[in-house]
Amino acid sequence: MLHSNYMPFIKGGGIFIPTEKTFELSDEVFLLLTLLDDPERFAITGKVIWINHRTTPAGRQMGVGIQFGGADGSRLQKKIEALLAGYTRADQPTNTM
């Protein structure tokens, strides 16, 4: 699931959040994220930079992509990339590209 939602092609990192709420590009958001079984919580501010509408081709899940902001965003990006470093199914489809 982390691989399907992480957006490594976004400067500073980003993550796709499945949601049916309506957002606009550039909306500022606040996220409280935990990764896998790690008890650490990341309080992240970010910006909406990707939107999958209900009618997205290829059956991708509805939701938004959030670009990480701030120092905690940089820390979260490094943590996610470390967790995915040994992932062997990189050709698996994601919720964005």
The reported pTM is 0.83
- How many contiguous H segments (helices) and E segments (strands) does the chain have? 2, 4
Does residue 67 sit within a domain? yes
Does residue 96 sit within a domain? no
Q: Is the model's pLDDT at 15 over the cut of 90?
A: yes
Contact between residue 54 and residue 8 where contact means Cβ atoms under 8 Å apart: no
Q: What is the average per-residue pLDDT within 2-19? A: 89
Measured CA distances, 41 to 34, 47, 81 (Å): 5, 19, 16
Q: What is the average per-residue pLDDT within 75-80? A: 91
Residue 43's CATH number? 2.40.10.220
Contact between residue 62 and residue 53 where contact means Cβ atoms under 8 Å apart: yes
pLDDT digits (tens, 9 = 90+) for 41-71: 888 999 999 998 876 666 678 899 999 998 8
Q: Is the model's pLDDT at 90 over the cut of 80?
A: no
Does residue 28 sit within a domain? yes
Number of domains in the chain: 1
Q: Is the model's pLDDT at 84 over the cut of 80?
A: yes
